[in-house]
Structure 1
Amino acid sequence: MIIVHHLNNSRSQRILWLLEELGLEYDIQYYDRDPKTMLAPASLRQVHPLGKSPVITDGALTLAESGAIIGYLIEHYGKGRLAPPPGTPERSRYIYWMHYAEGSAMPPLLLKLVFDRIEQQPVPFFVKPIVRQITGRTKQTFIEPQITLHLDYLEAELEKSLWFVGDEFTAADIQMSFPIEVAATRAGLDASRPKLMDFLDRIHARRAYQQALERGGAYKLSS
């Protein structure tokens, strides 16, 4: 039996969604973030040394990293579903988006989250202007332009086809969902990029996505 070690408001929601799309049976082990630090509990390190989410166990196998987990589930349980055939141009695009999601799209979004939190942390009054100047300047000159660059790129890509790989929904769209949801809730993605907003509307309307929410619990990035 596949067990998803599921952290609230995390990338593991993608794994629940994929399992629902594939119609597989699975169990969930739930973990809650520390309300102050927003970090995963130490108990997750008993499953995987890094204590990160997502993690799955499948028999003797313990596997972390969203892309690796999605690849494993597609290979072992997909039966040809949600991935283009090997050797096709679509397969190359599929592999590209699977890596792009975490390798290129997420880093500037994570930097924005970190710098936003630094600005919100209590510091001595005489230091606060310096902190705000450094964080504000970094966001203005590097982080926000990078986010804009990637959102413009993604908007243009979705003008070429209905989904990221083509006109068929694939697991790459599941992998890409997280950075786009993060951008919509924390980085200014709005109706000025209609293709990306339409992508969010379409994935949120999928029955498997909704079933994953029902099983996984509250997920702030779905709104």
Structure 2
Amino acid sequence: MIKLHHLNASRSIRILWLLEEIGEPYELIKYARDDKTHLAPASLKAIHPLGKSPVIELDGQVIAESGAMVEVLIKRFAPHLAPDENSAEYSDYLTWIHFSESSAMLPLLLKIFNEFEIKSGTDLKFLNDYAETEFNNVFSYLNDYLNGKNFLVADQLTGADFMLGFVVKGALKWLTSESKFLHIRRYVRNLENQTSFKRALDIDAN
């Protein structure tokens, strides 16, 4: 059986959502953030040395990267959530899976961390402008790409959406122009309407 080591309010929601969509039996092992530091508990280090979530156990193997989990779980249990490997869409599929943790995540994290630093009185001389430029560049590109699309690849739900959904939902707070990112907002609403996504949110909250 699949075991998911799940930390609340984390990237782990991706894998929880995927497992709910797949419908394969799994064991959920929950962890709560520290009330003061908001960091993951030290007990996660007993599962993987980095002490982060998500982590899954599958056939005695520990897998600790979201993208790898998505690819492994879909290939084994839900191949319909990925294009055929010989199709023209497969390279797009892989591109968007990796876009989530590379191009998209860095500017989002910089925006979040910069806000903490500014509130604490730090005078940011470079990072603030850099983060703003990169954020607008990446999410404007994504917004243009999503014009007329309900999903990222082949107009169907795929592993790429499970990966990117977490990022764009978190980025909505920073997409201050209501008219500039309409396609991203519509895309997020579509993901939020997925039954499996709603179930995952309920599980995460309880």
> What's the TM-score bracket when you normalise by the shorter of the two chains?
over 0.9
**In the alignment, which residue of structure 2 is the partner of 1:138?**
127
**In the alignment, which residue of structure 1 is the partner of 2:178?**
191
Contact 2:10-2:53 within 8 A present in 1 as well: yes
CA 1:216–1:188 in structure 2 vs 1: closer, same or farther (change >3 Å)? same
Distance in 2 (alpha carbons) for counterparts of 1:36 and 1:120: 17
Q: Secondary structure at the residue paired with 1:134?
A: coil
Instruction: Tell me how many residue pairs correspond in the alignment.
Output: 205
Q: Secondary structure at the residue paired with 2:81?
A: coil
CA 1:51–1:148 in structure 2 vs 1: closer, same or farther (change >3 Å)? same
Q: Normalising by structure 1, what TM-score?
A: 0.87
2:202 aligned with 1:214: yes
Contact 1:183-1:189 within 8 A present in 2 as well: no
Could you list the runs of 5+ residues in structure 2 that have no partner in the other structure?
none
2:80 aligned with 1:91: no
Q: Secondary structure at the residue paired with 1:4?
A: strand
- Structure 1 segments, 4+ long, off by >6 Å, are none
**In the alignment, which residue of structure 1 is the partner of 2:52?**
52
Q: Quote the offset at 1:189 in angstroms.
A: 5.1
Distance in 2 (alpha carbons) for counterparts of 1:156 and 1:34: 38
Distance in 1 (alpha carbons) for counterparts of 2:47 and 2:118: 33
Distance in 2 (alpha carbons) for counterparts of 1:116 and 1:159: 30
Distance in 1 (alpha carbons) for counterparts of 2:67 and 2:140: 23
Contact 2:118-2:124 within 8 A present in 1 as well: no
Larger radius of gyration: 1
C-alpha distance after superposition, 1:156-191 (max 9, x if no partner): 111153311131121111111111011113x23553
Distance in 2 (alpha carbons) for counterparts of 1:150 and 1:43: 35
Superposed CA RMSD in Å reads 1.5
Letter in 1 for 2:63: L
Identity percentage of aligned residues: 38
Letter in 1 for 2:60: A
Contact 1:161-1:167 within 8 A present in 2 as well: yes
Q: Quote the offset at 1:111 in angstroms.
A: 1.3
Distance in 1 (alpha carbons) for counterparts of 2:25 and 2:131: 40
**In the alignment, which residue of structure 1 is the partner of 2:17?**
17
Q: Normalising by structure 2, what TM-score?
A: 0.94
Contact 2:67-2:97 within 8 A present in 1 as well: yes
**In the alignment, which residue of structure 1 is the partner of 2:65?**
65
